[in-house]
Structure 1
Amino acid sequence: MSDTITNSSAVDENQKETQADTSAGRPNAKPSKSGLYTIVWRWHFYAGILSAPILWMITITGAMYVFSTEISEWRDQALLKVSPQEEERVSYDRLREIAASHAASEDLEGMVVRSDPAHSVFFLAHIEGEPGNRADDQHQRIYLNPYDGSLLGTRIAEHDFFAVVLELHRSLMLGTTGRILSELVTCWGLILLASGFYLWWPRGKKNAGVWLPRIKGKFYAVLRDWHAVSGFYLLPLIGIIAFTGLFFTLVLGTGFNTTVKKMGHWPPEWFLTAEAPAPSPEAQPMKLDQVVPLFLEHSRSGEDAVAIRFAEKPELAHKAFYMIDDDKNSLRTVSVNQYTGEKFSILDPPDLPFLYRVRLWAVSIHMGKIFGMPTKILAMIASLGLLGLSVTGIWMWWKRRPTGRSGFPRAPLPQSLPAWGWALMIVVGILLPVAGVSILLICLLDWICFSQLRKKKAV
């Protein structure tokens, strides 16, 4: 947020002042503000440099995924849109038979329908991967024209462009290792925002470079202003998007989910297929043509994509999931007895326990779907804004880097950090455990490197 080599002369002066205090026989002198500024600036600098490559990947993929629904619907018009016909539609049971004939697996686990007559119907076939490894499982989408039963096309959901974008965003396509790295960079992104805000603080400055960026003058000064000032204005927006992203992470996200379950706020009926009363021996399952209209009755103004999961066993019910624009906070579930057509276990987000609703809110906010298009635009601005801050930070370091040298800041004196600063680092390490471990490793590496450097100078 603040320039990564910002005010280098001021930093040098801060270091000189601290060194002067020590050389004057006051090694225990009270830490100065300038010394604290140097430490914060140094951590801001290293965090920005080290997190940049992964941060760029996360922000670019995040900005792309925000409009995944709109782009996918435009791209897949040939699969999703059909011309309504006056003649009677093909029965859903016949469509199921047609889909089964085109499926790469015998396991047709569900279908997706809409009340909009201009929409196609697609079925979902579950393709198992390596035994015991569900991560290799795939899902084939089979798109059919409901008026003549013709095949519009097939697609493997996991191979879709935006599925790959999402996987890059969440785990860098590196599995568990990638998820930890993504969480680490997200945590450091929050630290960068906080430390950048401290470095931006006016400290007596009036206007230029504080509230408004300069557009004339030395290139470095202009670049620094746009980095710092835009960072200040974007801080709340980026902070919200980054913080809600932690609900997806391996350590903090899993920890939150575990806490929700322990407190009894995790609704199993939200996910699992509900059980229905035991059928009589002579009972026969209802036809899909009877079941689907029951589910469509709960569709909201034709905006919902109604995903129906077929009952896999006689004692289970059919279950439908309703969602508008992939917004988890709009998710509704309805279960239907496959023998009687009785509708039960109808759940909307307001019916869920509070802590689980917090999770849904976080997911929708992070994806920019909480209030539709306006928040999508804000989410994209947050992603691209954070990318811009990182790029300008690296640019400033490269611009001011001395010829033949790294341009990395020197280590401040140990007493430059006040007691409350150490306490703050401990609190941050506890609240953001992945970042806390990295802070310990960085401090250890820093101590080893500079200890060796001082030994060499002594020799």
Structure 2
Amino acid sequence: MRKSFLLRLHRWVALTFALPLLAVVASGLILSFEPIVVQSAIKPGTVSVQIVEGLLQRYDPQGTARALFLRPNENTLTVNGVQSGGSVTVDLGTGEPVARATRSASDIFGTARQIHEHLLLRAGWLVTASTIAMLALIGLGIFMGWPRLRNTLPGWHKGIAWFLLPVVILSPLTGLLLAFGISFAPAPAPSGASGSPLPLREAVRVLAVEHDLSSVSWIRPLGRNLVARVAEDGEMRTYAISREGAVPMARSWPRLIHEGNWGGFALAILNLVTSVALLGLLVTGSWIWLRRQLRRISMRQRFAKAT
């Protein structure tokens, strides 16, 4: 297959998916900071079971809540399912509700996640198609062969793609696996008895026996289990909680790698570098095409004037 045809195909696939890819990659760049921000904000031993139980007793006296979210970078606790299905966000320092007058870091990360996964338009299919297109672009680039590296814009575009090829492949590949629900982990068995679900306050007590609540990201239903996500040794681990205790669940390696939640700050920073590289490839590739189009327009104008 001729290199010129592969180059043309590479160019048109990139242009077709340029806008959704820009949204996915830019939002991924924002999300790359989340593990760094959250893990650096955790202060071990600052959130006790007494504090969490006291807040649950105060804001969920009926015990109807089914999920809670801890945000160490904001020092807040959010309880979902209180009263008539609403939620309340509480300052862990004062115990008082937090007024949402301004957007917080969690709001920014939440919006970025919606864009990254659904483009804010329930267009998850377009995100999946764009991810497949990104992998196709990488494949086309490989089949075009090793390039001549020069200190030019095309040279930098090719250099970034080749020297960062493993991580450039890994990011969209793990994202595609997540989109299709492939985790390489066995389906978790239902924890505890098949009767009433474990109350949230009791789940907090069970989890606190062996785990520091300051490192908890959330506790919420996941399938038929009540699951906690805990930051431990630079990794986000999940535990199925029952009256018998907190049992570690199988790792979803595609999610851990894609989100940068494994290997401590090293993988989180590598994820950040990957996002910058992907954004750089998209921008430089688009600019190379645009510059070529502008040059052609200029040549046509000069030719028209000359004739």
- The TM tier, using the shorter chain, reads 0.7 to 0.9
Distance 1:265 1:90 in 2: 35
Is 1:160 the counterpart of 2:107? The answer is: yes
- Identify unmatched segments of 5+ residues in structure 2: 301-307
Q: What is the Cα deviation at residue 149 of structure 1?
A: 4.4
Q: What is the Cα deviation at residue 125 of structure 1?
A: 2.6
Counterpart code for 2:118: S
Distance 1:46 1:151 in 2: 52
Counterpart code for 2:14: G
Q: 1:194 to 1:153 in 2, by over 3 A?
A: same
Q: CA RMSD in A?
A: 4.3
Q: What is the Cα deviation at residue 187 of structure 1?
A: 0.8
Q: Bigger radius of gyration, 1 or 2? A: 1
What residue number does 2:305 align with? none
2:271 is matched with which residue: 342, 359, 379? Answer: 379
What residue number does 1:198 align with? 143
Q: 1:41 to 1:61 in 2, by over 3 A?
A: same
Q: Is the CA contact (8 Å cut-off) linking 1:145 and 1:151 kept in structure 2? A: no
Distance 2:255 2:119 in 1: 19
Q: What is the Cα deviation at residue 403 of structure 1?
A: 3.3
Q: Is the CA contact (8 Å cut-off) linking 1:57 and 1:168 kept in structure 2? A: yes
Is 1:179 the counterpart of 2:72? The answer is: no
Q: 1:150 to 1:392 in 2, by over 3 A?
A: closer
1:321 is matched with which residue: 224, 228, 232? Answer: 228
Distance 1:127 1:165 in 2: 29
Q: 1:329 to 1:91 in 2, by over 3 A?
A: closer
Q: What is the Cα deviation at residue 302 of structure 1?
A: 4.9
TM-score, normalised by the number of residues in structure 2: 0.75
Distance 1:179 1:331 in 2: 25
Counterpart code for 2:56: R
The size of the alignment, in residue pairs, is 289
Matches within 5 A, 1:252-331: 253-254=180-181, 256=182, 265-269=186-190, 274-275=192-193, 288=201, 292-299=204-211, 302-305=214-217, 307=219, 319=226, 321-324=228-231, 330-331=237-238
Q: Is the CA contact (8 Å cut-off) linking 1:295 and 1:334 kept in structure 2? A: yes
Distance 2:36 2:99 in 1: 20
Q: 1:404 to 1:297 in 2, by over 3 A?
A: same
Is 1:347 the counterpart of 2:239? The answer is: no
**For residues 395-448 of structure 1, what are the alpha-carbon distances to aligned partners after superposition, in whole Å with 9 as ceiling and x for unaligned?**
11122225349x9xxxxxxxxxxxxxxxxxxxxxxxxxxxxxxxxxxxxxxxxx
Q: Is the CA contact (8 Å cut-off) linking 2:35 and 2:261 kept in structure 1? A: no
Counterpart code for 1:267: P
Normalized per residue, the structure richer in strand is 2
Q: What is the Cα deviation at residue 235 of structure 1?
A: 1.3
Q: What is the Cα deviation at residue 224 of structure 1?
A: 1.1
Distance 2:291 2:57 in 1: 65
What residue number does 1:224 align with? 154
**For residues 331-370 of structure 1, what are the alpha-carbon distances to aligned partners after superposition, in whole Å with 9 as ceiling and x for unaligned?**
122212xxxxxx24x4213xx4xxxx4xx10001001122
Greater shift in the superposed pair: 374-383 or 300-309: 300-309
Distance 2:255 2:97 in 1: 34
Q: Is the CA contact (8 Å cut-off) linking 2:217 and 2:230 kept in structure 1? A: yes
1:188 is matched with which residue: 130, 133, 143? Answer: 133
Matches within 5 A, 1:108-127: 108-111=65-68, 121-125=77-81
Q: Matched residues, percent identical?
A: 19
Counterpart code for 1:151: P
Q: Is the CA contact (8 Å cut-off) linking 2:60 and 2:83 kept in structure 1? A: no
Distance 2:259 2:203 in 1: 33
Q: What is the Cα deviation at residue 394 of structure 1?
A: 1.5
Distance 1:125 1:65 in 2: 26
Q: What is the Cα deviation at residue 186 of structure 1?
A: 0.7
**For residues 5-30 of structure 1, what are the alpha-carbon distances to aligned partners after superposition, in whole Å with 9 as ceiling and x for unaligned?**
xxxxxxxxxxxxxxxxxxxxxxxxxx
Distance 2:86 2:32 in 1: 23
TM-score, normalised by the number of residues in structure 1: 0.53
What residue number does 2:116 align with? 169
Q: Alignment partner of 1:321: what SS?
A: strand
Q: 1:96 to 1:127 in 2, by over 3 A?
A: closer
What residue number does 1:454 align with? none
1:244 is matched with which residue: 129, 154, 174? Answer: 174
Is 1:59 the counterpart of 2:19? The answer is: no
Q: What is the Cα deviation at residue 301 of structure 1?
A: 8.6
Q: What is the Cα deviation at residue 372 of structure 1?
A: 1.8
Counterpart code for 1:64: I
Q: Is the CA contact (8 Å cut-off) linking 1:200 and 1:228 kept in structure 2? A: no
Q: 1:127 to 1:54 in 2, by over 3 A?
A: farther
- Identify unmatched segments of 5+ residues in structure 1: 1-34, 129-137, 203-208, 215-221, 279-284, 310-315, 337-342, 408-459
Q: Alignment partner of 2:262: what SS?
A: coil
Distance 1:145 1:301 in 2: 12
Q: Is the CA contact (8 Å cut-off) linking 2:24 and 2:127 kept in structure 1? A: yes
**For residues 22-71 of structure 1, what are the alpha-carbon distances to aligned partners after superposition, in whole Å with 9 as ceiling and x for unaligned?**
xxxxxxxxxxxxx5212211111111111111111111100101222554
Distance 2:130 2:52 in 1: 51
Distance 1:39 1:276 in 2: 60
Q: Is the CA contact (8 Å cut-off) linking 1:44 and 1:196 kept in structure 2? A: yes
Q: Which structure has more RCO (C-alpha within 8 Å, separation ≥ 6)? A: 2
Q: Alignment partner of 2:261: what SS?
A: coil
